[in-house]
Structures are given as structure tokens and as C-alpha cells.
Amino acid sequence: VVCLAGKDPATRASGGIMVVAVCALLGGGFYTFVGLAWGPSIVDLTWAPLAVLLVLGFTVLTALTVTSFFQSVLRDPGAVPPSWRIPDSDDGGRGVQAAYHSFSDDEDVPSNVEHPVHAALLRQEILCRKRDGTLRTCPKCRIYKPDRTHHCSLCDRCVLRMDHHCPWVANCVGWGNYKFFILFLLYVILLCLYFVAAMAPFFASAIRHYKDNDHLGNRDFMVFIFYIISAVMGAAVVAFTSFHLSMIAKGLTTIELHLYALQDGGHRAEQMGYPRQNVWNVGLRKNFENVFGKEPRKWFLPWGSVPGNGVRFEISRSRGGSEDETLHPISP
């Protein structure tokens, strides 16, 4: 776990609290649905078939949600490969950048360029650079920054294709766990909708009991509380998930959205070392596959590997988001 093992005690403590809180919500909801409501209904011959189906469906959804959650928590969001570490004698890439102007585009990379990052710079494969053309570096991590990489102050490390730091999963969300984070959001929505729909009769019964007796019993109290939580949380997560799905459709991260949202002709993005246009928008289908992979049968499974390597990304040949022709940069 990245942030639970971080240097800052406050970060470790808050991360642990949030993980426990999510587990408590999922556990409480499962206990209410299975242990207090539909589970006991299985012994009722009238409701037994429906109760079995509902309990089975809720159990599967809960298992998928929990697995996605812990994949988001425990997966490394994207460690920068060792080959991107800055050599002790490096000058920030300035010498290599100057050497670039001494050979034409149809020439091979000079044989005396040994560092793979310098070679990639010469091939113009690194798009995110400083304004003078030199490589972006992280003085804290002592690395060259690959495209779309950012340093997280809470995790105290650089993260490949960093999207944001999420307190709910006590981790950064980046290239290595973004798929599982999105799956977690989707399964939370389905779980909340399932709970609200299936528990409606028990919620209505709890309201009637309260009107008749002016108090709620233990089961009715749990049903009432988790029904409200499911309804409110489901609505909130729908909005949040819609935002992230729109980012996937555009091939953007949350950080990049703030760079390109300004109508300034890409000036802000250029100041941050980014291309003036979003070059990672390669079409709706490919943008989706860059997060979930190319095999549809694995899209919604919260396990397995994630596509790509987190260092090189497919880019639009037109540098403006065209889906007709794309470049396939080399691996690190």
C-alpha cells in the first residue's frame, strides 16, 4: 500500500481510517441486506425463490465491489521504471537536447547516446518537456519524468499517468490502478441501486412501524440508515463516475483536464511542459481500450494486468486528437 506506508503519520492514519470506513459501509450494508432482511426471508416458502436470487445477486455484486476497492488500494498506481533515474553526471538533458539539432530526422540516434531516456528524447518520443526543450525532472525522486507523470506530495513519489490522489482508497489513482478505481465506482453504483430497489419493501415497513410505534427496532433502524446511505451515496457516485467516464472518452486525466479546460490556446499546458493540444485523444474506442484493455471479456473483471506500460502512450498523429492515424511509441 503506497500511502498507508508513507512517511507522514497523518497520511497513514487518515488513509487507514478511510479504508476502515469503506469496509464498514460495505459490511454494514451486506449484513443489513443478507443478515436482517432477505436472508431470513429464505425460510419463508412464499418468498424463498426470490430471496435466494436476491441474496445471490447482492453477494456477487458485493464481492466485485470489494475486490475492485482493494485492487485500487493495494495496486501500485505506477512506479517510474529504474531506467528513468537521473545519472549522477546528468545535466538535465541539455547536452542531448543540443545534440538533437546536429542530426536530421532520417538519421539514427547517435551511438554514443547510452541512456534510454536521452535516446527517446532525441527521437522526439517524449512530448512533455520544459519550455527550453529539456527533460522534466523530479528533484525529490531523482528521476526524469515520463509523459503525464506527476509527483504526489501525499504519497511522496512520482506516479505514472497520475489522475488524482483519492483519500477513499488511501492511494494515488494512476496508470496502474485507474481501471480498478473506475470499476469500483461502477460497482458501487450498481450495489446502491440494487440495495435501494430490493430493500424498498423493508424500508416502507420500517416507516410504517415508526409511524405506529414512534420508534424503530434494531432491524428497522439498520434498514432505514443504510437505505438512506445507499440512495445518497449512489447519486453522488453517479455524478463522480460520469465525470471520469467523460475524461476517459477524451483520453484525459483529471490533472490534464485543468490544463486543457482553459481557453487560452494551450498556454497553460505549455507552461506546465505539456503539448498545446490534447494529443492523447485517439478516438472513443481506443481511449476506452487504453484504460480497460482490448479484450471485452476482461473489461469488467477487477483483476489481471492493465494495458500499456505507463511510460509510452498512443498519440494522435495530427496532434489534435484524430482517431484516423496514430503513432505507437516504443516501450521503455
Q: CA dist 141 to 82, 84, 151, 158, 162, Å?
A: 11, 10, 8, 7, 15
In the beta sheet, which residues pair with residue 171?
166
- CB burial readout 63-76, b (16+ within 10 A) else e: ebbbbbbbbbbebb
Closest Cα to residue 176, out of 295, 73, 279?
73
Closest Cα to residue 186, out of 240, 250, 252, 257?
240
Instruction: With both helix axes pointing from N to C terminus, report the angle between 284-292 and 218-250 in degrees, rounded to the nearest 10.
Output: 120
In this structure, are residues 29 and 195 in contact, taking their beta carbons and an 8 Å threshold?
yes
CA distance 229 to 329: 46
Length of the chain: 332
Q: Which residues are catalytic?
A: 166
- CB burial readout 23-34, b (16+ within 10 A) else e: eeebeebbebbb
Type of residue found at 1: V
Q: Count the neighbouring beta carbons within 10 Å of the beta carbon of residue 277.
A: 16
Structure-block grid coordinates of residue 262: 482553459
- Read out DSSP for 138-155? ETTTTEEPPTT-EEETTT
Type of residue found at 134: T
Q: Are strands 326-327 and 315-316 parallel, antiparallel or unpaired?
A: antiparallel
Helix/strand number for the chain, H first, E second: 10, 8
